[in-house]
Chain A
Amino acid sequence: MLEKDVPQDDGMAEGLESVCYAVDEKGDYVLVPSVGWDAKQVANDQAWDLINEEIENVRQQVLLGKKSILAYHMVKKLMDISLLAEYVGFSRLKVWLHTKPGFFARTSANVRQRYAQVLEISVEELTDLAQLESNTK
């Protein structure tokens, strides 16, 4: 890649410059700052679209009463059951059960506290279903 061909497509990096290795006109390698590249952006957008789709899916299911609000906050933090289980230190089965509304409703304050801590939200937020309804995005 030539120095002048280093892509400068502004996007997801929020202005953050990363460095690329490129060749100058004499054929020597130089470090060139780059603000981004469209091909990279496409792949990154695709990954986030998938995640956002999943979040919206789960949100609908929570509102329909098929999943607990914990499931929503879990996918919002890009986690799945096994990752969340590892973070809170519960078995996967236990976390899976807690993604069902009936089981989550019966959890103790202590258990909720642990989930909230791992997900970096307050316990109120973790149990606030109303907020989920207004949250269309």
Chain B
Amino acid sequence: MTITTNFTHHQTAHCESGAVANLISHHGVKMSEAMAFGIGAGLFFGYLPFLRLNNLPLITYRSIAGSIIKRVTKALDIEVVSATYRNQAKAMVELDQLLDQGIPVGLQTGAFWLPYFPKAYRFHFNMHNLVVVGREGNEYVISDPVFPELVRCDRHSLMKARFAKGTMSPKGKMYYFKDVPPCDDFAPLILKGIESVSNAMLKTPIPILGVRGIRFLANRMEKWPRKFGLQRANLHLGQVVRMQEEIGTGGAGFRFIYAAFLQEAANHCHHDELLALSARMTEVGDHWRHFAVLAARNCKGRAEADEGYPAIADKLRQCAQLEESIYLDFRSLYS
């Protein structure tokens, strides 16, 4: 038995914005990943040392998992049906029923149990998003946004992935779109998205979030070698890079996606200012990448004398400085 939903798969850089963009496009409103990321106000920063991943502090470069979907669908007035489950069998049966009706279904899953993931990426990480687009007997056809082609996954593994446990466990979460109204003017949604990002990064109630969070991390980072010893400090630093570059494309990646969004937004809003801001955001992304290179050199013990912890902390401060000026300039767009 073969069931398909005629879903067009586009590979994207980030799972959540990719899944939601592909789903919205499937329902007739053409939307790029960058646009979904921007309208969904995905850009963020947070240093959360009290949350642990592999015993090291959690750093996030984007807004909390699920918020992009929530914001985009709300902005476009899309009716979303979503559910979480206690009963695993029931969660699979309801997924099957939707597929039978030809509806592609978005899932939040863990990465560890997905057999098609390369082994090096299989950590207990629960914020992955994918879209199930068909089924062949016991095998599901999946549009995983970060993979180049459609992938396949057996029923047992998919069930395990849907009910992965640990931090932010998905609890079988699935969602699909019921009613997607046509939308031909993104401009107001774009400006609203930009405003949310600007506020989230600048008006932070606690010092570990937003631009303040980047500076906070820089200050802490400088003290790591003294506090933990060089070896453990390097592990912390590696974690920062790993969170930045790997887990869902990370910091620099997100800055580039956002720059792409600003560029696309310039077409929609007819605002040349946005093009200049896009170029500046690209520059910030480049600095984040440079930071990752320096950090990796430190981890390998190959850093030059002037590339040690004070230097990388300064690099972070530079990122914070540049980002802050961009977010401040965002204000002129919507006020």
A binding-site residues for B, Cβ under 8 Å: 1, 12-14, 16-23, 27-29, 31, 33, 37-40, 42-44, 46-48, 50-51, 78-79, 83, 86-87
Q: Are the CB atoms of A43 and B299 closer together than 8 Å?
A: yes
How would residues 131 to 168 of chain B score, 1 for a CB under 8 Å from any chain A CB and 0 otherwise? 00000000000000011100000000000000001100
* B34–A21 touching, CB < 8 Å: yes
- CB of B259 within 8 A of CB of A29, answer yes
Knowing A1-B282, A43-B296 touch, does A21 contact B257 (C-beta < 8 A)?
Answer: yes
**In the complex, what distance in Å separates the CA atom of A39 from the CA atom of B292?**
6
Q: Give the contacting residue for A12; candidates B34, B120, B252, B259; CB below 8 A.
A: B120
Q: Are B13 and A19 in contact (CB under 8 A)?
A: yes
**Given A28-B263, A44-B242, A47-B238: A18 in contact with B13 (beta carbons within 8 A):** yes
Q: With the chains together, A22 CA to B13 CA distance in Å?
A: 11
A19 lies within 8 A of B300 (CB): no
User: Which residue in chain A gives the minimum CB-CB distance to B258?
Assistant: A21
Which 8 A-B pairs rank lowest in CB-CB distance, beginning with the nearest? A12-B120, A29-B260, A21-B256, A39-B296, A43-B241, A86-B165, A42-B296, A46-B238
Q: Is the CB of B296 within 8 A of A20?
A: no
Interface size class on chain B is: 35 or more
Determine whether the beta carbon of B282 is less than 8 Å from that of A46: no
Determine chain B's interface SS by DSSP, over half rule.
helix
Q: Check A39 against B293 for contact (C-beta < 8 Å).
A: yes
- Residue among B120, B246, B295 with most chain A CB within 10 A: B120
CB distance from A17 to the nearest CB of B (A): 5
Give chain A residues whose Cβ lies under 8 Å from the Cβ of B239.
Answer: 43, 47
Is B286 in contact with A1, judged by CB distance below 8 angstroms? yes
Please give, as numbers and ranges, the residues of chain A lying within 8 Å of B241 by CB-CB distance.
39-40, 42-43
Task: Report B-chain residues with C-beta under 8 Å of the C-beta of A22.
Answer: 256
**Looking across the interface, which residue of chain B has its beta carbon closest to that of A86?**
B165
Distance in angstroms between the alpha carbons of A83 and B165 in the assembled complex: 7
Instruction: Please indicate the chain A residues that have their CB under 8 angstroms from the CB of B48 in the complex.
Output: none
User: How far, in Å, is A44 (CB) from chain B's closest CB?
Assistant: 6
Which of B118, B234, B286 has a CB less than 8 Å from the CB of A13?
B118
Query: Nearest Cβ distance between residue A42 and chain B, in whole angstroms?
Result: 4
